[in-house]
A and B are shown apart, each in its own frame.
Chain A
Amino acid sequence: DGGITQSPKYLFRKEGQNVTLSCEQNLNHDAMYWYRQDPGQGLRLIYYSQIVNDFQKGDIAEGYSVSREKKESFPLTVTSAQKNPTAFYLCASSIRHINYGYTFGSGTRLTVV
């Protein structure tokens, strides 16, 4: 079955360390997205990519980096420059069409210890 896989589900990071969250999809979707969700909050867009080897900053890109070397993969690196990285991170993918919904992964919960 096609879907989008995020790993790991839980991640612990020491302050000052970079950490990379994985997102893989086998839906043949062109577009992929990273969102951050804080407790009781909505979703905020970090980065998105419409095609391979291209990506754009979202609303809260500072302290994060991404790459899109393959259509299937869109990893997110949370760098030590991100001041408050503890959050729930969601990856999504979609066909580039106004009527098409997103498919979301099950999320990665990152905790800084």
Chain B
Amino acid sequence: GDSVTQMEGPVTLSEEAFLTINCTYTATGYPSLFWYVQYPGEGLQLLLKATKADDKGSNKGFEATYRKETTSFHLEKGSVQVSDSAVYFCALKVSSGTYKYIFGTGTRLKVLA
């Protein structure tokens, strides 16, 4: 079945370090791929998305490229800030009629000043 696998956290980085959070997926057909961010005690916010192979989603300095050949959608940021500390979820959506998400388990990022 369809699934999303994320790297386990927590990921702890110093401010201005480079961030990569790995995400790989298994899906039938051609899914759309998403990254969401959750700050403590809040709901999830859409960070970026990519809807077809080789698309690059970007927002607030974060980027992710839809790689069909490696079934991956890794999240990257060149220089993280303390305010980026949050939990990041990778998700896919397939056109199976229900348009439900399949979420990864989330990766907690801690950025130290």
B44 within 8 A of A: yes
Cα A41 to Cα B108 in complex, Å, equals: 10
Which 7 A-B pairs give the minimum distances between C-beta atoms? A104-B43, A42-B105, A101-B46, A98-B95, A104-B44, A99-B51, A106-B43
A87 CB to nearest chain B CB (Å): 13
Partner of B94, one of A41, A43, A96, A98: A98
Binary interface encoding of chain B residues 19-51 relative to chain A, with 1 for a CB under 8 A from any of its CBs, else 0 = 000000000000110101000011111100101
With a cutoff of 8 Å between Cβ atoms, the chain B residues found around residue A41 in the complex are 105-106
Partner of A90, one of B31, B43, B51: B43
Contacts A42-B103, A102-B101, A107-B42 known; list 20 others, CB within 8 Å.
A6-B43, A31-B99, A33-B100, A41-B105, A41-B106, A42-B106, A43-B89, A43-B103, A43-B106, A50-B99, A56-B98, A92-B44, A94-B99, A99-B32, A99-B93, A101-B49, A102-B46, A103-B46, A105-B43, A106-B42
With a cutoff of 8 Å between Cβ atoms, the chain A residues found around residue B89 in the complex are 42-43
A residues 27-52 near B (Cβ < 8 Å) are 31, 33, 40-43, 45, 48, 50
Q: Are A98 and B99 in contact (CB under 8 A)?
A: yes
Interface residues on B, range: 20 to 34
Cα A94 to Cα B99 in complex, Å, equals: 9
Q: Are B105 and A99 in contact (CB under 8 A)?
A: no
With a cutoff of 8 Å between Cβ atoms, the chain B residues found around residue A97 in the complex are 99
With a cutoff of 8 Å between Cβ atoms, the chain B residues found around residue A96 in the complex are 99
Interface residues on A, range: 20 to 34
With a cutoff of 8 Å between Cβ atoms, the chain A residues found around residue B32 in the complex are 98-99
With a cutoff of 8 Å between Cβ atoms, the chain B residues found around residue A109 in the complex are 41
Nearest-CB residue, chain A, relative to B30: A98
Instruction: Tell which of A31, A99, A101, A104 has the most Cβ of chain B within 10 Å.
Output: A101
Cα A97 to Cα B89 in complex, Å, equals: 20
Can you sample 6 A-B contacts with CB below 8 Å? Answer: A43-B106, A98-B32, A98-B51, A98-B95, A101-B34, A102-B44
With a cutoff of 8 Å between Cβ atoms, the chain B residues found around residue A40 in the complex are 108
